Structure 1
Amino acid sequence: MASAALAGHAQPVAQRELGAVLDWPAILRARQGQPLTSEHLRWRRSLGQPQALHVFALDCSASMLESGAFAKAKGVLLQWLRWAYLQRVPVALLCFGAGQLQWKLLPGRAPQWNAGLIEPLPGGGGTPLALAFHAAWALVAKRPEARPHFWVLSDFRSADVLSLVQDSAPALSHILVDCEPAARSGPRSFGGAERLAQAWHSAVRLQPF
């Protein structure tokens, strides 16, 4: 299963220690200029600092649903929330689709049982990508001590990308989990995640499947 494989790659020994955080210098060294994948993720101890807040945003739009990426993204998200629960890492979850946003989890410890929350999520409608980014930025701006990581699981097939690349992204780590399916590679690929990763120094693009 793709989600199980990703979870295995994304959880080296350092990550299993309480308070582990993403080690971006080590990630970039492992990447060596290649497209970022789960195998490149590296973690380090937080040295007693407060644990970083991980904010997840799930794209529930029609394009995600129709391509099959929505189901895969939910599986990946479940694995990450399970890790967050075991490590007592604070999380928040924002779902966006059909022109609307909904906070499914406000900042706090991840619940022990997430399948009942994630699996029934419906998909459809447009992709309010810019609204999702600005909502997450507003949330973390109220928690400057949280050292947040913002994970966006999306195919990034939205015209909002064209305006977002002009924005000055706040200084927090953005992990753009690119779910644009391989079937749309080549001339028909929109490449929204890649455009944002190139525009923002704080952003990296992760290909989960």
Structure 2
Amino acid sequence: MRSGFRWRQGAGDAALDGAATARVDWPRTLAAKRNERLTADHFRFVREEAQGGVLHCFLLDCSASMMAGQRLALAKGILVALFDQARIARAEVALVCFGGDGARVRLRPTVPRWWNERWIEPVGGGGGTPLVSGVETAAGLLQQAALVKPAQQRWLWILTDGRSSGTPVRPSDADRVVFVDFDDGQVRLDRCAHLANAWDADSIAYRVFARV
């Protein structure tokens, strides 16, 4: 599965009032779009000066609940597509996987290479959903990155169904947080939406995300 999501350097840039460059704010644009066909009315923009590059830190839920309905396979497909786009944009990525009884840093900040699919595909799943441990591990990684490259913009992407009883704390070194919500069961918990609201973050259903 490949996502059409793009963040190429220069993609979505628009001049507003002939002044600073405005970049498409894709997470909020997708949140506004929901299940509708993407139109001009859905676009949201953000003005910012690009400095120090960008780090996209991905936190992947590999718990047993993500095995249902091929959620983990779908998440890995989206992840591969986003890694490919980061490679084109020369942005850095990092990957933390959590499941069972803890979390593990699978990839420290680096510009991804063309073999992304080869090493992401074997990532397995099972066990509980230690979301708190996963977020804490990602927070430590982001903190280290902030010390090395303080001017870098840091994004945290959390790919999960949110089926965890723990309540993690928002990482202070994450400039932006996006939840890609895989909770599509008959009984939805909407944990991603609740956390996103508490964190001033974005929550996007993976089905919407994958169609763009």
Fold conserved between structures, TM > 0.5: yes
Structure 1 position 152, deviation (Å): 0.6
Structure 1 position 89, deviation (Å): 0.7
Residue-by-residue CA offset, 1:1-24 (whole Å, 9 max, x unaligned): xx42xx32x22xxx3226999957
Task: Tell me what 1:85 maps to.
Answer: 87
CA RMSD in angstroms comes to 3.1
- The 8 Å contact of residues 66 and 125 in structure 2, kept in 1 or not, is answered as yes
Residues 1-209 of structure 1 aligned to structure 2 (within 5 Å): 3-4=1-2, 7-8=3-4, 10-11=5-6, 15-17=7-9, 23=23, 28=28, 31-32=31-32, 35=34, 47=49, 49-144=51-146, 145=150, 146-160=152-166, 163-164=167-168, 167=169, 169-170=171-172, 172-181=175-184, 184-185=185-186, 188-201=187-200, 203-209=201-207
- The 8 Å contact of residues 27 and 41 in structure 1, kept in 2 or not, is answered as no
Runs of 5+ in structure 2 lacking a partner?
14-21, 208-212
Residue-by-residue CA offset, 1:10-69 (whole Å, 9 max, x unaligned): 22xxx322699995767546754x659996687879755121110001111000012321
Q: Distance in 1 between matches of 2:158 and 2:144?
A: 19
Q: Distance in 2 between matches of 1:96 and 1:141?
A: 18
Q: Distance in 1 between matches of 2:129 and 2:112?
A: 25
Task: Tell me what 2:17 maps to.
Answer: none
TM-score (norm 1): 0.78
> What count of residue pairs does the alignment treat as equivalent?
191
- The 8 Å contact of residues 36 and 206 in structure 1, kept in 2 or not, is answered as no
- Aligned residues with identical type, % of pairs: 30
Task: Tell me what 2:16 maps to.
Answer: none
Task: Tell me what 2:19 maps to.
Answer: none
Change in 2 beyond 3 A, CA 1:43/1:98: farther
- What secondary structure sits across from 2:52 in the alignment? coil
- What secondary structure sits across from 1:197 in the alignment? helix
Q: Distance in 1 between matches of 2:131 and 2:47?
A: 32
TM-score (norm 2): 0.77
Q: Distance in 2 between matches of 1:70 and 1:41?
A: 29
The structure whose residues are more often helix, as a share, is 1
Residue-by-residue CA offset, 1:162-199 (whole Å, 9 max, x unaligned): x23xx355252110010112xx24xx211110110121
